[in-house]
Structure formats: structure tokens, C-alpha cells
């Protein structure tokens, strides 16, 4: 950032315009569509689904909640943009915040082991979280923080179009399904998010504390694999 006030204001204005343009691409209320989108969109047509790259770029400048101001790195998500399975957790932890990657700490090792046993790799699934910035002291994301990040997650899901979503833990499951039911009642049963089958299961960090519950997550994932096989 330049020290010249006039130049600094011009630079900030440019960044703001760029950020607002991405929000227009995302189709949110309160932001006008970009001129490019206006030119190609037919009257009454839905806004085009942004790519993962565009969604990420929009998030790089996002300060819609207090978490964005304190993060080390944005933890957007990673994996195949054409993944059949999308894993969604709750929020990054300390190691995720440091590396800018989801599920790379102790809980990530649990998830990696699960994927390996299923014959899957991180490169062929997609892994992300409801919230993309680390909450202080790894606390649960607060409702306003979830609300700020949710439109980005919804656009990620639209961009990937997975055949199945695996909701890892209470917060992910309750957010996607708009319910307050506990994870113990949600897991092991199929649900729907925007016509996509959703299988809630325990968060890997929970399995670190209660390893006996891993058998239930394994059972949940067998249902997921059976459903994918049936769709082939």
C-alpha cells in the first residue's frame, strides 16, 4: 500500500470494486451484477455459477465477519473440482490456519486414515469447512460467523455438484440441514441438501476423543460408498 493518501484511496477503491464485482458474480442481494454478466444474461435467467477460483478470490478480500481479521490464512478447501464426495467440517484449527489447508492437523490424520481404508485419496474428493477462518482458541463458530460464510459454501457446492455430501460433525450437519437435532440422531440416516444426498457423521476430532465411535463413522461411510456404487 502506497503512503500517498490520494493513491492509497484510489487503490482501496479499486480493491473494493473488484470485491463487489465478485459478490455480483455470486448473485448476492445488495450487489449489482457485473457489466460482463449483464451482457450475457438473458432476462429472467439465473446468475452463472462462479468457479472455485472465483469464489476463492472473493473470499480473499472478505471481512464480513470478525474471523477474517484475525486469520493467518484463508482455509478455502481442496481436492477435485469434479469430486463425487464432498466432505464438510466446521472450521479450521491451528494447523489448518497456519498452512491454509483443511484437515491437516490431528483430526486430518483421522480423516486421511478413513479415506485410505475406503480406497480414496484427498485428491479425488473435496474437503472444506462451513467457516473458512479459524475461530479463536478453536471455539465453535458463532451464528453470525456461520451466516457470513454460508453463501460461499453454498457456491462451492454448486460449483462442484457432488453426488454425496458427508457432513462431519454437529455444526456442519445442522447448518446444511437447517436443524437443531443432535448429530447422534442425524448420523446414519440420509438427508437432502438442495437435492443432494447428505450423510452426517461424527467429526474426526470427536473420534480422537472417543475412538470407540469410529465404527459408527465407518458404518456411515459404507452407506455412502454403497450409494455411489448404485449410481454408477
Question: What are the pLDDT digits (tens) for 180-196?
Answer: 999 999 999 999 999 99
* Mean pLDDT (the chain, rounded): 86
Q: CB neighbours of 220 closer than 8 A, spacing ≥ 6?
A: 166, 187, 188, 199, 200, 201
- By percentage, how much of the chain surpasses pLDDT 90? 73
Helix (H) or strand (E) holding 5: helix 5-26
In contact, 134 and 75? CB cutoff 8 Å: yes
**How many residues are given for the chain?**
232
pTM, two decimal places: 0.81
Confidence check: pLDDT of 21 > 90: no
In contact, 130 and 88? CB cutoff 8 Å: yes
Enumerate the domain spans of the chain: 1-48, 50-231
pLDDT at site 68: 84
Q: Model confidence at 39, in pLDDT bands (50, 70, 90)?
A: very low
Tens-place pLDDT, residues 130-159: 999 999 999 999 999 999 999 999 999 999
pLDDT at site 47: 67
CATH topology of domain 50-231: Uracil-DNA Glycosylase, subunit E (3.40.470)
Q: φ, ψ for residue 21 (rounded to 5)?
A: -65, -40
Confidence check: pLDDT of 34 > 60: no
Question: Minimum mean pLDDT among 28-37, 97-106, 175-184, 194-203: which range?
Answer: 28-37
Q: Is 92 left (phi over 0), alpha (psi -120 to 50) or beta?
A: beta
Tens-place pLDDT, residues 49-65: 899 999 999 998 888 88
CA angle 35/38/40 to nearest 5° reads: 115
Confidence check: pLDDT of 162 > 50: yes
Q: Model confidence at 199, in pLDDT bands (50, 70, 90)?
A: very high
Helix (H) or strand (E) holding 152: helix 143-160
Amino acid at each position: 500500500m502506497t503512503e500517498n493518501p490520494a493513491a492509497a484511496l484510489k487503490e482501496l477503491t479499486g480493491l473494493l470494486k473488484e470485491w463487489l464485482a465478485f459478490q455480483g458474480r455470486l448473485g448476492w442481494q445488495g450487489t449489482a451484477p457485473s457489466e460482463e454478466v449483464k451482457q450475457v444474461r438473458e432476462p429472467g435467467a439465473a446468475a452463472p455459477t462462479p468457479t472455485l477460483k472465483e469464489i476463492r478470490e472473493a473470499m480473499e478480500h472478505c471481512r464480513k465477519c470478525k474471523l477474517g481479521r484475525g486469520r493467518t490464512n484463508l482455509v478455502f478447501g481442496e481436492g477435485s473440482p469434479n469430486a463425487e464426495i464432498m466432505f464438510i467440517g466446521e472450521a479450521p484449527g491451528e494447523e489448518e490456519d497456519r498452512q491454509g489447508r483443511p484437515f491437516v492437523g490431528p483430526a486430518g490424520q483421522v480423516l486421511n486414515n478413513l479415506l485410505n481404508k475406503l480406497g480414496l485419496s484427498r485428491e479425488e474428493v473435496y474437503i472444506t469447512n462451513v467457516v473458512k477462518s479459524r475461530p479463536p482458541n478453536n471455539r465453535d463458530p458463532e451464528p453470525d460467523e456461520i451466516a457470513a460464510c454460508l453463501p460461499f459454501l453454498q457456491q462451492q457446492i454448486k460449483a462442484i455438484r457432488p453426488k454425496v455430501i458427508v457432513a462431519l460433525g454437529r455444526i456442519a450437519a445442522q447448518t446444511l440441514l437447517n436443524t437443531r437435532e443432535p448429530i447422534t440422531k442425524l448420523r446414519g440416516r440420509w438427508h437432502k441438501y438442495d437435492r443432494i444426498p447428505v450423510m452426517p457423521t461424527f467429526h474426526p476430532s470427536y473420534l480422537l476423543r472417543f475412538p470407540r465411535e469410529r465404527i459408527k463413522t465407518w458404518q456411515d461411510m459404507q452407506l455412502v460408498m454403497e450409494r455411489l456404487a448404485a449410481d454408477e
